[in-house]
Chains A and B, each alone.
Chain A
Amino acid sequence: MSAPIHHETAEELARSVREGSRSAGEIARAFLARTGKTSERLGTYLHLDPEAILAQAARVDERKAKGETLGPLAGVPVAIKDNICIRGVPTTCGSLILERYRPPYDAHVIQRLRAADAVLFGKTNCDEFAMGSSNENSAYKPVRNPWDLERVPGGSSGGSAATVAAREAPLALGSDTGGSVRQPAAFCGVVGLKPTYGSVSRYGLVAFASSLDQIGPLARGARDAALLYDAISGRDECDMTSRPEAKAVDLDEIERGVKGLTIGIPSALLSEGLDPEIRASLDAVRAELKRLGAGEAEVALPHAKHAIATYYLIAPAEASSNLARYDGVRYGLRAGNGDLKGMYEATRGLGFGREVTRRILLGTYALSAGYYDAYYLRAQKVRTLIRRDFTEAFAKADAILLPVTPTPPFKLGEKADDPLAMYLNDIYSIPASLAGVPAVSFPAGFTKSGLPIGLQLVGKPFDETTILRIARTWEKASDDAWRAPAIAEEVA
């Protein structure tokens, strides 16, 4: 007997639709049934329109019936983070200020998914404007971790990670500015890829910090992550930072094992504050990769310890500028009576939540007269030092192995009143963001209490293939990389 539909990989689902052994409609109905059972408890979706999903699936089936060649994601539901624009579909970014916004255009990644015959599933819940590490900053509702509903799923792409982990959707798109794909992937026990900056077009991704934002896939395994990455990456003339160097990941190449590859270990970063169970998991993965033929090299990354300070100046500065567009004039919320300035202030005061407000204030301060040099410009210079660290490390290693987070998933409310404590959680994910290099978070076992542990591989620019190859090698050797949370095993 074959596995229930929701346990199959995206690759298997697409193949079955192309070969005609399954219809896209059958797959869509199966995932809608799963989602209907669990998404209210998990808080995974901000918008889900079953009719629109079934209509897209029906179009794929019609194309198949006419004998047309179907794309690589034929009939595969892909959940979309709610900061990615789909024409005519609500796109709130988890914010009240965009409560009624319906974009008049498709993001580049959405155009690509349509061309790949994917079925756009729901819009997933996220921290407001992708600012957060716990998904508690959604203006609508929190997301809960499928492995323990008392705990956070991570953020800001918490809905995307949780929905893939709970088998509500086989694939999802998130966005990663300082770890927002990788950290929730780690907390939910799935694979999350932050591509090289410039690999995936940002056209239609609502801007947070433009020099850092990158859309990335969430999937249950490395092959599916590669499949989705291949569907969305590549040059787009609508994004001036989109690069022609971006190249597809070859699914055969990631099966080649790790023999001949050198894994970089930044020992100095692995002591202070790292949870012992995550440390033990990292040591176990190291040992296994060595046994499978990988070499190891010590790498330094001496400036990585300053990454959080650097990031929390650069990202809020860019955000304060990007979010200036929400002024109540052309779309979204409008509040206040009286003059224009009063309308701006009332609209923004009412429409933005605490985290977004704090970051706008911080960014405005860092950019203001008299502080620009001391804060913003200095942070940009330290960013150069952090980039150089990676260039030097990659002279010795093909990829760098790191934790994703210093601790396993924490409880809802645990850090909600201490923003700095929340920011310190990003120590391992931010360096790759500042350097613009690709990084993948992959499942690497569980704590004794049954919470997922994720580890991270950071790669050379435009070398998504090598980090996915290492993650794939580990996944094949691991006995629990495919374990599903109990909530995904509930009989539909």
Chain B
Amino acid sequence: MAYISQYQYYENNGTNPTDANWGSYQYVSLQDIVNNFLLMYSGNHSLVNNEERYKVLFHAKRAIQELNYDAFKEIKVLELTVPESLIFILPSDYVNWVRISLYKDGWLRPLSENIQTLSSNAYLQDNTGMILFDQNGNILQPQYSNIDFDRLNRTKKSIYLNQGSQFDGQYGWYIDDVWYFQYGIGGAYGLNTETANFNPTFNINKKAGVINFDSSMSGESCILEYISDGMEGGDNSLITVNKLFEQYIYAAIKYEILNSKFGVQEYIVQRARKDRRALLMNAKIRISNIHPGRLLMNLRGMDKQIK
């Protein structure tokens, strides 16, 4: 890819979207990576030879996917309003979540993942407990399971100290300047810090591709921070890698090819493996942005007396 002019960078040559090239200099495209690898690391006089381009492409993409899972720290953010069905459909490029928050009254409130289940499938049964089938032998299912039905109707209780808590809304008695409740709140058994959170909770049903919330999230604004695999919906022209990882990608492709190739001496494979590992470590350190300015910010508090 050729270098672009300043005008193209800032204004995209006057065409929409004008911000298309902002920050693009941080990245190297997949096309460049594959092209450079074939040109520089493959051929008659190289360790990698007689290999198809699609293998290089495959290993390049796999390396990019792996980097996207942890090393890149490129987190995507999506805001959606949770409907009455209390589900948040996972984005099309979702791989894993980082943080889920409720945005309300100008505050971003991180939500806890419910350690209990919030949703379930159900089968229809007769009064003897036998499962019911249709004429094709398929199990008959209700629209909602009891747990889903209760959750949607805001009657499901929660072990969290939020609106679904069994203590929420309970009456007490004020006698001689003291409140008395029918149930003890942590007093008898100790507070479970894991569930001591006022905010709504969620569960992720990965196979169904949805986040299930408790009933207090209905109509609320939810912000999902998540990671993808960097494949940009299969559009090869959009796949990019941070330049700090460019050399690692070459090393990763080389290693993967040599490692799976017949007749390559083990010491060459090991050399490629060490090369790849060292470059990954280097790139991770670089992208961590550990520099004196940041350390200084942390060290400024070191002399503060803890009372």
Query: A and B bound?
Result: no
B-side residues, CB < 8 A to A, are none
A-side residues, CB < 8 A to B, are none
